[in-house]
Amino acid sequence: MEPTTEIRRLLDLMPASGRMMTKIISKPELPKVIETQFPLPWSGERPIWINFDLWSRLTRPQRDMLLLRTVSWLTGIKWFKPDIYQGVAVAGFLGAMAELVQRDAVGVLVAGGLTALATTQIWRNTRSSQSQLDADEAALKIAQRRGYSDVEAAQNLLSAIEAVAKIEGRFNLNFIELLRCQNLRAIAGLSPMGVPETIKRE
């Protein structure tokens, strides 16, 4: 597989937000098929590394769904959207700066603690089971705009998760992957059981 041609095709597949926020990079030494890192607030482009030798072992629909899912997860992480934790983090940071100027050590510690607590909560929320399932479902919606049916997209993403584990020499899926597979089976009509709400929130 010629990486430049495939990267061009994948860029055409992405939604506009994905093209603006992410960057696909060929990484032949990567032991995984595809990898990305949790984006920090000051990150500019969010890189997606692909080992194209391993990538070529997947079918085209599997590759499409894997890329769309990765882009959906990356673009779904928003550090600066207005909610309670972002508000607390900003207030804590501003408070820490004010206390630092006034040389109030206790105030700096309290405000810094608030910032750290809120930032940790944002981190946890974006790595929760629910956020992983949300990324899958966002990818399915994008795929429907690219000509896939909902069932077809879910089946291809499901088979991609299982194929990647085999390609990478993993004998078992991890807990999140198992949850994702169960949710995708339900969407694809392959299982009557979805993922319970209590587990999604973990």
* Bridge-based pairing state of the strands 34-36 and 46-50: antiparallel
State whether 72 and 60 are in the same domain: yes
**Same domain for 63 and 16?**
yes
Residues ≥6 apart with Cβ < 8 Å to 148: 61, 64, 65, 140, 156
Greater confidence (107 vs 184) lies with: 184
Q: Is the pLDDT of residue 184 over 80?
A: yes
Higher pLDDT pick, 202 / 185: 185
Assess whether pLDDT exceeds 70 at residue 201: no
Is pLDDT at 106 greater than 60 in this prediction?
no
Going by the DSSP 8-state scheme, the letter that residue 22 receives in this structure is E
Q: What is the pLDDT of residue 124?
A: 58
Check: CB of residue 153 under 8 Å from CB of residue 144.
yes
What is the band of 200 on the pLDDT scale with cuts at 50, 70, 90? Answer: low
In this structure, the answer to whether residues 120 and 132 fall within a common structural domain is no
94 and 56 in one domain?
Answer: no
pLDDT digits (tens, 9 = 90+) for 142-167: 999 999 999 999 999 999 999 999 99
**How much is the pLDDT for 46?**
92
Residue 131 pLDDT class (50, 70, 90 cuts):
confident
E strand residue ranges, the chain: 22-26, 34-36, 46-50
**Of 54, 125, 44, whose CA–CA distance to 84 is shortest?**
125
90 and 184 inside one domain: no
68/88 same-domain check:
no
Residue 73 and residue 9 share a domain: yes
Whether the per-residue pLDDT at 108 is higher than 50: the answer is: no
Mean confidence (pLDDT) of the chain: 82
Cα–Cα dist 154/160, whole Å:
10
Query: Could you give the number of structural domains in the chain?
Result: 2
Domain around 102: 84-125
Residues 73 and 39 occupy one common structural domain: yes
Report the pLDDT value the prediction gives residue 107, as an integer from 0 to 100: 52
How far is it, in rounded angstroms, from Cα 176 to Cα 192?
19
196 pLDDT more than 80? no
